[in-house]
Amino acid sequence: MPTIDLATSSLRELNRTLHACKDGSSETAFEVLNPRGQHAVAVGIDAPLSIDVHGSVGYYCGGMNKRAHITVRGSAGPGVAENMMSGTVSVRGDASQYAGATGRGGLLVIDGNAASRCGISMKGINIVVRGNIGHMSAFMAQSGNLVVLGDAGEALGDSIYEARLFVRGGVASLGADCIEKDMRPEHHETLARLLVEAGVTGVATREFRRYGSARRLYTFNIDNADAY
């Protein structure tokens, strides 16, 4: 397993090495040492790599990830896994604001807490947070699933579209057009699968409540289709 030490190698060298890996590359697993809060660690990866980062990172770690499996053994700054397409990003500590923003696919797991705007404008990503999330999380969330084992801050799901929010703890307040919804069998199945994928055990899906869009803010109404 190649080891890249950011105490002696540059961030540009790290990302250049990771970007050079394509399907069929002989090297598929990397260790990254001494990230020391540097920004944009392991961004834009498009290969089935395993990347183990030993330490905390700055903003945008794992951004635009596609197919790689990235583990951060520390905390992450703003925008971790932003615009992720597929693969997984796992943060063993806490995550700063807008974790998983605009993500289109893949799985983001945060073992600690996530700050404000977690999952903002998510477009298909699945996010599992073992701790709490801050205010305005899932703002304008379009699709995908946000699972929170702890509490959610104020204005959860403000202006939400069709993303599904599952919260085990308390919710400080709901944002505009976000309401509590029934947990139907298909939602229990989806939630159970996500908990397994995130490595969460000993938690029953019946302990969660589901939130989503009341669909009162939509500008399109099928009854008025002829007018468009």
**Could you tell me the two tokens for 144?**
């995908």
Q: How many Å apart are CA 171 and CA 133, to the nearest integer?
A: 10
- Asked whether residue 120 is domain-assigned, the answer is yes
One pLDDT digit (tens) per residue for the chain, 228 residues: 899 999 999 999 999 999 999 888 888 999 999 999 999 999 999 999 999 999 999 999 999 999 999 999 999 999 999 999 999 999 999 999 999 999 999 999 999 999 999 999 999 999 999 999 999 999 999 999 999 999 999 999 999 999 999 999 999 999 999 999 999 999 999 999 999 999 999 999 999 999 999 988 876 566 765 654
Total structural domains within the chain: 1
Closest to 48 (Cα-Cα) out of 81, 97, 88: 88
Within a domain: 208: no
* Domain region containing 133: 3-199
**227 found inside a domain:** no
* 211 belongs to a structural domain: no
By the 8 A CB rule, do 143 and 163 touch? Answer: yes
What is d(CA 217, CA 142) in angstroms, rounded to the nearest whole number? 13
- Indicate whether 143 belongs to any domain: yes
41 found inside a domain: yes
The span from the CA of 2 to the CA of 5, in Å, is: 10
CA distance 135 to 164: 17
